[in-house]
Amino acid sequence: EDQVTQSPEALRLQEGESSSLNCSYTVSGLRGLFWYRQDPGKGPEFLFTLYSAGEEKEKERLKATLTKKESFLHITAPKPEDSATYLCAVRSYNQGGKLIFGQGTELSVKP
Amino acid sequence: DGGITQSPKYLFRKEGQNVTLSCEQNLNHDAMYWYRQDPGQGLRLIYYSQIVNDFQKGDIAEGYSVSREKKESFPLTVTSAQKNPTAFYLCASSMGTRRGGSYNEQFFGPGTRLTVL
């Protein structure tokens, strides 16, 4: 069964304190791993897609990496405006166009 | 501006009522999706449609119905058979599902919060 697990559930950082969020996955043939940012009461905002192990994508203070079993979202020198819930999702060969989401990591960055 | 719109933003349902949530997109996307989000849980797929006049059940379709008469529109009806409808409902769209690359990414609307009175 395809599964996605994110850790930690919640993360509190001081402004400027770099850290990483983890997304572990079990799928029968990965067709894409997706990162989203979600602010309270709003729809998820697309951040990155990764397709193969070793691939990396960057956007401002965020960098996503991918291995055969997990993905990391690295946050460098975070600011309070980076506070949000970060969602990871995967698409597998078994699931067609469907995405399987993890439960998310709630990030709080204090000034 | 291209994007996905959902209405209403807040919706209240009485016991035994059917309610319909609207989702419209002007991105010229072929595929559309409905998700439900509950506190502490990941997004769960209710229904999806890869092409006009065709749709498939997701993981939690019981108590819900959809239609796809136009490419731009994918309304979701929450029926009285759905016993726990209070949740945040999200609509998404993507270019397609038959090819890889950027066709995979799903883009989300702002959501509708449904509360049962």
Record: contact A42-B48, CB cut-off 8 A = no
- The minimal CB distance from A32 to the residues B48, B104, B107 is found for B104
For the segment B87-98, the average pLDDT, to the nearest whole number, is 87
Q: Would an 8 Å CB–CB cutoff place A50 in contact with chain B?
A: no
SS3 assignment, position B83: coil
Nearest CA distance, B60 vs chain A (angstrom): 13
pLDDT confidence band for B40 (50 / 70 / 90) = confident
Using one digit for the tens of pLDDT, what is the confidence trace for A5-62? 999 999 999 999 999 999 999 998 898 999 999 999 999 999 999 999 999 999 999 9
Give the bridge partners for B76, in sequence order: B21, B66
- With CA atoms as reference, the chain A residue closest to B49 would be A97
Q: How many helices (H) and strands (E) does chain A have?
A: 0, 11
Q: Position of tokens 């349902």?
A: B13
Is residue B101 pLDDT above 60, yes or no?
no
- The minimal CB distance from A98 to the residues B45, B90, B111 is found for B45
Supply the pLDDT for residue B92: 96
CA B90 to chain centre: 6
